[in-house]
Structure 1
């Protein structure tokens, strides 16, 4: 097993229940699970978080396959009846609808891989009905609330404190571009084109996209790079665009804290983190007249249906305004 794979396995080991269940698997199944994990990491290019989730789900499925008896079992025994029984057992345990949907997606990915590798003569995955998620409308800031967050952070950066300069640049860039917090933290200085006002972003599945940003975000970035970054820079900083207080690359947890604390200062604002700013940016783009396809490309959504969620947000807000203000609502 490669060093990189060992690192990912150590990430999974952070969950003792998963590690114990994995260790209990027969050697043959454990080996095939390792191969599936490598497939997710290196061939499909999934994020560490997604790989952990998929592997955990498949461990649960293989536990269902093995059961309590001591008979040797193999992947070739997986069929639609086993998959349905596994999901039914998960449902009985009170697993949420969204988690059941992910479990089913993980199982389908596993059976598709097993069939392609010749472990399964047929693929039962497509026959497994994935429970529909109950999609909830995301919480978003109103435009005036977003402006208040950014004005407040800009005022806080006036003393040229490096952390305050960084925090303001983080907020401006998240709202200006709608990038994911993981994408923001992976940015290097070379990914910013100040002349064209465009970011080069690497998203899910290692897909690259160009994302424009405006003058306020550029101004905040320049102040951070000119007056703040060098004061936090250490030997471990590398070329990271944003740095933590100790000089390493800013991590998503710290970025989330920046957003939560900043939004928390605005009266009546929804409690949101970086993903809430992403939702807000998408909603405000659509309210301003942007078309769905453009917003899809900016956000890096693989399918248009994901972006269409934001049209429901704008409609619900319009309905609320209508009910509140129209004399015959």
Structure 2
């Protein structure tokens, strides 16, 4: 195993954190093999590796049970180790080659009810300051376009067409998309551009739309702080992140009858399957309404 880790370090150039994970996973695998009295790689079978996977999921006194995602990562490390052993001539076959890692459970995105979103928007920024106008504009744009946090802070002034109410967003992989912008977001941006951005701007501002207190482009971390502080002021005790607004944007559109493929385009998802997880949230809503409203539901 040490030779394999050296191979990953020198020839594959894996990052330190990734190497640390591989080392931890393989150490646990070695412990399991020792418990099974397996002291030679040629004695490892597919059943041995499958048993290790079951062991990971069940946990033990020394190790808590792993989630499907963590167990899958460990299986990948074990599979790579045995593949390396085959390539190095230590064994003839890879016993882990056909062991399927567990599928990660699909986590339903957390969306806020509209009343919570509106409360957060109203609580944006300290009242009466230029930053309050910026914060309100930022949060209105996030919820009003479904933009990722990196897309929102990456906006330049010229990327927002305030006449036609559209914005140019630069997404993952440099992909660009044009999305509509609602009137609430446009009004908030207009107020910010007229009454706040000139006071924040400096020689280093360039064309950035959202500026920090020093006149530079607002960072992702600072934008995140803007949102969390607004949520605290609004008394929202749920975990709220920029992605929460994106989830809420998508869910509220689908609840309002929007086609899933339209939502896919608005979110910038390459595949509609990524967007379809939001339909699970709305189906849950439909089930709840059906269960409480239909006379023969129960």
> Shared topology, TM-score over 0.5?
yes
**Is residue 245 of structure 1 aligned with residue 216 of structure 2?**
no
- The offset of 1:195, in angstroms, is 2.8
CA contact (8 A) 1:139 1:270 kept: no
> Of the candidates 108, 130, 134, which is equivalent to residue 162 of structure 1?
130
Instruction: Return the TM-score normalized by structure 2.
Output: 0.71
In structure 2, stretches of 5+ residues that fail to align are 31-44
Secondary structure in 1 aligned to 2:178? strand
Structure 1 stretches (4+) deviating beyond 6 angstroms? 62-68, 80-90, 103-108, 122-126
Aligned-partner Cα distance in 1 for 2:147–2:258: 17
Farther-moved stretch of structure 1 (140-149 vs 167-176):
140-149
Matches within 5 A, 1:5-20: none
Aligned-partner Cα distance in 2 for 1:105–1:300: 30
Shift in CA distance, 288/222, structure 1 to aligned 2, threshold 3 Å? same
Secondary structure in 1 aligned to 2:21? helix
Instruction: Return the TM-score normalized by structure 1.
Output: 0.65
Q: Which has the higher helix share?
A: 1
Shift in CA distance, 59/87, structure 1 to aligned 2, threshold 3 Å? farther
CA contact (8 A) 1:240 1:249 kept: yes
Larger Rg: 2
1:145 matched residue in structure 2: 116
- The offset of 1:174, in angstroms, is 0.6
Aligned-partner Cα distance in 1 for 2:293–2:234: 24
1:60 matched residue in structure 2: 21
How many residues align? The count is 268
- The superposition leaves residues 144-185 of structure 1 with CA deviations (integer Å, 9 ceiling, x where unpaired) of 33233334449x65x3x2110110011100101111112222
CA-atom RMSD, angstroms?
Answer: 4.1
- The offset of 1:294, in angstroms, is 0.9
Secondary structure in 2 aligned to 1:260? helix
In structure 1, stretches of 5+ residues that fail to align are 1-23, 38-51, 69-79
Matches within 5 A, 1:1-329: 26=6, 29-34=8-13, 56-57=17-18, 60-61=21-22, 93=63, 94-101=65-72, 127=98, 129-153=100-124, 159=128, 161-266=129-234, 270-323=238-291
CA contact (8 A) 2:25 2:74 kept: no
Shift in CA distance, 262/130, structure 1 to aligned 2, threshold 3 Å? same
